[in-house]
Structure 1
């Protein structure tokens, strides 16, 4: 992809979203960034920019909280601009109801909730765009996965339309991912198992997007995603958290999260089963509890074994 070629002129579509309570735009959208160099996600000043692949084509979306009120301004450019603007409210957490979550009995969570009143769960309404990077993150370090995402999107994506920040890119659509040759996956450090899973995912992309009509995640959505060979519990959860706004989808199988949850809630590390046991009192809200923990700034003690970064590109 030649990023030096300017994107074609695109008309601008605007909206102003008025949330029904406090809203921390950066905290809500932070899970959508795949590392600091993600070419599809950029924070510039107080604005969050995204390169978005919509059902109507590529779009650039810019979301900016206003200084004078609780309103949030949003602008979009490109063939998919109207779709991107229409989905801004859910992107920023509309429909994500925290009223049934009671964390008052846990001092850590109660304090996190008090300090994070503007936290919401995003719902992007983009299954493929959330699922592909989740597949790339399977069983490797974040450093490896984010490097692969950056390299593949920059080479095979589309320059974001309109006055986007330099280097902002819209990721490929399903056909674009399927056209990437095997040696390009290898060059990006993606092994054949993960690249084959991406191919299977892209082959059923329309059916994946139809899961959005089922609701905000749940067993039926997870079962449909997991029916694709190579998409397991962790990958499905990482996808429904972002695409569907699933409030009860903890990432079982994650290398780090069980220890983080254990240290935060009881002062010692736990495994997946221990994490689920700790989260059980908040069933129905387990992903909200996870976001409170990770959004609080808490980090587990830095000791113990680290996962080895592998470079598959030279093999």
Structure 2
């Protein structure tokens, strides 16, 4: 957290680069704002600064109705870090407390509830329950404003245990009842839910969709001119997402800047509405919507080798994945993944004929005859060993995993090499500081830029954003 003077100067200058890094609470109005809020600068003695909105709400402040700090993407700092606090925040963001309680969250992180609470309060100023309440309110407001669902359904979908708790929670967080936040809008398609997800501009969508298309699993994913579609296996059921950027956003850097409002529309079709929090978090991870282009540009933009690429395409994203196990299997078997989907996946009926299946579960592949599906015996053994370890819980392939432990566990599986583990760490674990060793595309891009050797050594200067440097190099090809 910045000291008081730095925070106050950032707020006084209305510097948007600090949005998401902290919020300012004003004791005279009991409102908290973004640093860039256009309202009149409050007096020093009336200001308190909090690292996350949940801490401001726990202290008795509500979100500003003018600058909407609750809608700002989360700080990219938590994606850089892989420690206990960062992992806990990522899991809470995906709805872990709503599904498993604080006890389940602590068990997942292999710490006591008391230690977890102490670490979170010391770092961000709010415990796991307060953070979960804040996340619940943010999801509920998003549903109230962007869908036509009845308010009672929204209450339970967002994780509230009763309508009364929902009404009280929304009044506390936003100073208004849910009905006052509802905007008139066209009705959703039956069974569908449209949500608007914020990101920090710019976002060059063309390269993002190109990379997703290059690695799409047939039957599970599909990409067209300005949309990304995929099926999702969620904690309580299945789902289908469609992210729509619109023609104005699908060009390169120039048209990315035109999309200055920083929103992408995502249509969700969920078997269980209580999965909405997990689905939204999965969408944000796939599209890397919590990325901070300004911070990355400041670090990489001045480098003599990669700086011109960063300045030419500011805001390039590192695409995540819908399922870490799926991504790892795809990295191991390549084009034969579609055969595994057809044989061992769960068939779905969706409006899009290209989306036919959920990816097979680890249990389905652990004992499957993969040689009969066309895999070489050694590769089949690797996939079965991986599936068995994931099914048993020995390997966890999501953003809440301990990155170092996960990479070590993957390397212990016969047939999984350094390139695969780096690729999984980059896209499934969300590590922004990975540089895949020996990748031929990266070497080729470096040679074209005039660096014939020593790429790994040069990449050390790009920390902690080596994953983004790799994407810039790949895109330059």
What is the RMSD of the two structures over their aligned residues, measured on CA atoms?
2.9
CA distance in 2, matches of 1:182, 1:102: 45
Cα deviation, 1:97-126, whole Å, max 9, x if unaligned, reads 451552344455222212322312233363
Paired residue secondary structure (2:300): coil
For 2:312, the equivalent position in structure 1 comes to 115
Residues 264, 293 of structure 1: 8 Å contact kept: no
For 2:441, the equivalent position in structure 1 comes to 257
For 2:383, the equivalent position in structure 1 comes to 198
For 2:361, the equivalent position in structure 1 comes to 173
For 2:329, the equivalent position in structure 1 comes to 132
Relative to 1, partners in 2 of residues 1:277 and 1:210: Cα closer, same or farther, differing over 3 Å? closer
Residues 193, 267 of structure 2: 8 Å contact kept: yes
For 1:237, the equivalent position in structure 2 comes to 422
CA distance in 1, matches of 2:344, 2:398: 26
Residues 234, 252 of structure 1: 8 Å contact kept: yes
CA distance in 1, matches of 2:398, 2:221: 24
Cα deviation, 1:264-302, whole Å, max 9, x if unaligned, reads 33253x4xxx33123121132222111011123x2xxxx
Cα deviation, 1:142-194, whole Å, max 9, x if unaligned, reads xxx22x11222233323444322435432111122235314423xx3x21111
Higher helix share: 2
1:76 aligns to 2:268 (yes or no):
yes
CA distance in 2, matches of 1:74, 1:230: 37
Residues 91, 122 of structure 1: 8 Å contact kept: yes
Give 1:199 deviation, angstroms: 0.9
Higher mean C-alpha displacement, 72-81 vs 46-55:
72-81
Cα deviation, 1:183-234, whole Å, max 9, x if unaligned, reads 423xx3x21111111111111223433663246x4x3432232233332211
Paired residue secondary structure (2:460): helix
Residues 325, 397 of structure 2: 8 Å contact kept: no
1:60 aligns to 2:240 (yes or no):
yes
Relative to 1, partners in 2 of residues 1:30 and 1:156: Cα closer, same or farther, differing over 3 Å? farther
Unaligned runs of 5+ in 2: 1-189, 249-258
Q: Which residue among 222, 228, 233 is the counterpart of 1:48?
A: 228
CA distance in 2, matches of 1:279, 1:288: 11
For 2:400, the equivalent position in structure 1 comes to 213
CA distance in 1, matches of 2:349, 2:306: 41
For 1:22, the equivalent position in structure 2 comes to 202
CA distance in 1, matches of 2:216, 2:318: 21
Residues 371, 377 of structure 2: 8 Å contact kept: no
Paired residue secondary structure (1:208): coil
Structure with higher Rg: it is: 2
Q: Which residue among 350, 355, 359 is the counterpart of 1:162?
A: 350
Tell me the number of residue pairs that the alignment of Structure 1 and Structure 2 aligns: 270
Residues 442, 473 of structure 2: 8 Å contact kept: no
Give 1:72 deviation, angstroms: 0.4
Residues 60, 164 of structure 1: 8 Å contact kept: no
Give 1:36 deviation, angstroms: 6.9
Q: Which has the higher contact order (CA 8 A, sep 6+)?
A: 1
Unaligned runs of 5+ in 1: 1-9, 137-144, 299-315
CA distance in 1, matches of 2:299, 2:405: 26
For 1:96, the equivalent position in structure 2 comes to 291
Residues 92, 122 of structure 1: 8 Å contact kept: yes
CA distance in 1, matches of 2:218, 2:386: 21
Paired residue secondary structure (1:176): helix
Residues 193, 269 of structure 2: 8 Å contact kept: yes
For 1:13, the equivalent position in structure 2 comes to 193
TM score, norm. by length of structure 1? 0.74
